[in-house]
Amino acid sequence: MKKIAILLTVFLLFSFSFSFAQEDEERDVLEVSVFSGLGLPIGGVTDWQDSLGLGASLGWNVGAEIGYFLTPDLVVGFNFTYYELSISNDTKPVVNPDDENFGGPGLAFISLMNNPNDLSHRLYNPSLYLKYYFFGESNLVPYIKGHIGIDNAKFTTKIQETTNPRYRSLSYDPNLGFGFGAGLFYYTSDYSGLFIEGSFHYSASKNTEKEYYDVIYKMNEDIMYFDIHAGINVFFGTGE
């Protein structure tokens, strides 16, 4: 966590150093956006706990961000995105109520409520971002973007209990996440418009842990995914 805090502090100091070098002029001051889209996991996380069929697959996201224009083209801001990823395989409950050794109706309820096909993998990702707009004469404006933050994974995990085996969503330790992407913004009015953005995200989640009833559960993969989302962006300020 100390390394993450140091990286975020350097990011902020580096970003705000630009703002003091700019002359005062009429320009946009803030941007606020909301968005939603899809996320496609790649790499080892798609085979996570493969023997149980708990690999992550295509999911959805929703988020919001607010940014400050350091220059007429460069923005630094805060983003929060929630991801919900599906479980890739048709996985059966860990307890079969029809088994002759099944322990009764109470355990049946636990088993059915913990069918992993009814659960999901989730990510709660706050981050800081830098965005550079390529403004011109057109209403269509391309941009590039990078982000760094703290990822919080809550993954469906098989709980290793001999008397009551089941699946639970466990919140693993926070870890560093970062990525980059590009997008297109289209003005629909003087101070607002629509955008679409694609990005790649890397989450250094390997070896993060969660202690649950004195048992240590460990993420054995880094989380990586491609993301595409669209939304509304509104600018606030004096304008040009």
- The 10s digit of each residue's pLDDT in 90-128 is 555 555 545 544 444 444 444 444 565 667 899 999 999
Residue 120 lies in a domain: yes
What pLDDT, on a 0 to 100 scale, did the predictor assign at position 166?
A: 74
- pLDDT tens digits, residue range 213-234? 888 888 888 999 999 999 999 9
Q: Where are the beta strands (DSSP E) in 73-139?
A: 74-87, 121-133
Cα–Cα distance, 36 to 54 (Å, whole number):
24
Residue 109 lies in a domain: yes
What pLDDT, on a 0 to 100 scale, did the predictor assign at position 41?
A: 92
Given a cut of 50, whether residue 162 has pLDDT beyond it is yes
Residue 62 lies in a domain: yes
Residue 117 lies in a domain: yes
What pLDDT, on a 0 to 100 scale, did the predictor assign at position 43?
A: 85
Given a cut of 50, whether residue 10 has pLDDT beyond it is no
Domain range for residue 71? 2-18+29-237
Residue 67 lies in a domain: yes
CATH number for the domain harbouring residue 82: 2.40.160.20
Residue 23 lies in a domain: no
What pLDDT, on a 0 to 100 scale, did the predictor assign at position 113?
A: 47
Given a cut of 50, whether residue 154 has pLDDT beyond it is yes
Average pLDDT of every residue of the chain: 80
Contacts 24+ apart (CB under 8 A), 165-171: 165/94, 165/95, 166/94, 166/95, 166/110, 166/111, 166/114, 167/93, 167/94, 167/114, 167/115, 167/116, 167/119, 168/114, 168/212, 169/119, 169/120, 169/122, 170/210, 170/212, 170/217, 171/210
Structural domains counted in the chain: 1
Residue 24 lies in a domain: no
Residue 196 lies in a domain: yes
What pLDDT, on a 0 to 100 scale, did the predictor assign at position 105?
A: 46
